Amino acid sequence: MKKVLILTTSTGQGHNQAATSVAESFKNAGYEITKLDFLAKNSKFLNDIIVMAYEISAAKFPRTYGLFYNLTDNKYINNFLKIIFFMTRKKVSKVIDEIRPDIIIATHSINISVISDLKKQGLKTPFILVVTDFKAHYLYVDSCVDAYITGSNYTKQSLMNRTVSPNKIYPIGIPISNRFYTEVTSADTLKDDEYFNILLMGGSLGLNTIFKVLKELLKNPKKLRITVVCGKNNHLKNKLVKYCQENNFTNKKLHILGFTQDISYLMDYCDIIVSKPGGLTVTESIVKNIPLVIPFAIPGQESENIDFLTTEGYSIYIKDLNKINDTVNRLIDNPDELINLRLKLKELSSTYSLTKIVDIANDLISNK
């Protein structure tokens, strides 16, 4: 039985979700799976610093996070991280020696700082890196990577612009749960045609900007059914529930949820998704062919995701949050625009595959 080692890191749940999806694909192909959060299992100190710094800066100080993202977007960043992860690299090397995987796959770019030097020291195991956003930061760029999995040709070009060989890049979609491909709810029997259905999300952190967006949507005179997913932010959920209980809203149906595993079902039920453009959320909306309206984003990779989505005409970005109802009403009054967006998403999603990564891995193993 072939073995795969999947490396991830918990800066946001997207990387872990991608790792779970990859594991599912390889398990179905008969591989023995080992999934490792290489920081959490090998350096609690570094893990706490990096994960907490990400969560706090992204949720509370997004401009600071964006500035840091841009400052580190240079070709020297990986050399710097190799110093920081010296001890972690030794521990991961021990795991590799014990498991002896046929292929190593990472769903977070900082794994390069571990694998690169191991490759230089003689590690022959092929290494696949999943790019979980639509433009590649310099953290993703290193000669140790044998293959890149990307979400689009736009991402492929961004890697090529940074000297990565096109032969190494496979734009087959960011890995997401198989449920988004296979579970399709017949929502037509559930929907009330009088109401326009909106799914409002903010990622696993449940950003507080959701509250501002919801208040604007509730001012809309049209009939809206709004489902809000607050993620793990219980404070936000309680705040929204209290606000909705204290006010009466005409022509509105409201559902306030916390963390849920039913995003695939909720997407089938909605006409549009209003959310920040995280890589996995975007991919899920593409696979479901549900247009994404973006009223906010974390500066950095999500701003770059907006560049991709708007340049290619896949999503609508709203610069002024106070004008979100203008966009919503335009889509309600012009259903052809909504249909055209869906068709563009369907065309892009037709290039996606959850199984091709296994074929790529098998080829790399055969040619090792």
**pLDDT of 248 above 90:** no
Tally of CA atoms within 13 A in the half-sphere of 129 that contains its CB? 27
Q: 166, exposed or middle or buried, with CB in 10 Å at 0-12, 13-18, 19+?
A: exposed
Per DSSP, helices labelled H in 187-233 are: 209-217
**pLDDT of 252 above 90:** yes
pTM, 2 dp: 0.88
Can you tell me the distance from the alpha carbon of 227 to that of 231, in angstroms, rounded to the nearest whole number?
A: 12
Query: So what's the pLDDT on residue 198?
Result: 96
Mean pLDDT (whole number) for 163-190 = 86
Query: So what's the pLDDT on residue 209?
Result: 84
Can you tell me the distance from the alpha carbon of 327 to that of 337, in angstroms, rounded to the nearest whole number?
A: 11
Can you tell me the distance from the alpha carbon of 160 to that of 48, in angstroms, rounded to the nearest whole number?
A: 34
Query: So what's the pLDDT on residue 299?
Result: 84
Per DSSP, helices labelled H in the chain are: 13-28, 44-60, 62-71, 77-84, 86-99, 112-120, 153-160, 179-182, 209-217, 234-246, 263-269, 279-288, 301-311, 324-333, 335-349, 356-366
Contacts of 286 (CB under 8 A, 6+ apart): 173, 314, 345, 348, 349, 352
Query: So what's the pLDDT on residue 27?
Result: 96
Mean pLDDT (whole number) for 237-258 = 91
pLDDT tens digits along 231-242:
888 888 999 999
Terminal-to-terminal C-alpha distance of the chain: 17
**pLDDT of 192 above 70:** no
Residue 124 token pair:
């022959």
Residue 196: band (very low, low, confident or very high) from pLDDT cuts 50, 70, 90: very high
Query: So what's the pLDDT on residue 109?
Result: 86
Where is mean pLDDT largest: 55-69, 160-174, 205-219?
160-174
Domains in the chain and their CATH numbers?
3-173+353-366 (3.40.50.2000), 179-349 (3.40.50.2000)
Query: So what's the pLDDT on residue 259?
Result: 86
Where is mean pLDDT largest: 68-77, 83-92, 101-110?
101-110
**pLDDT of 64 above 90:** no
Residue 318: band (very low, low, confident or very high) from pLDDT cuts 50, 70, 90: very high
pLDDT tens digits along 106-132:
998 888 888 998 999 999 999 999 999
Tally of CA atoms within 13 A in the half-sphere of 351 that contains its CB? 16
**pLDDT of 189 above 60:** no
**pLDDT of 352 above 90:** yes
Query: So what's the pLDDT on residue 168?
Result: 98
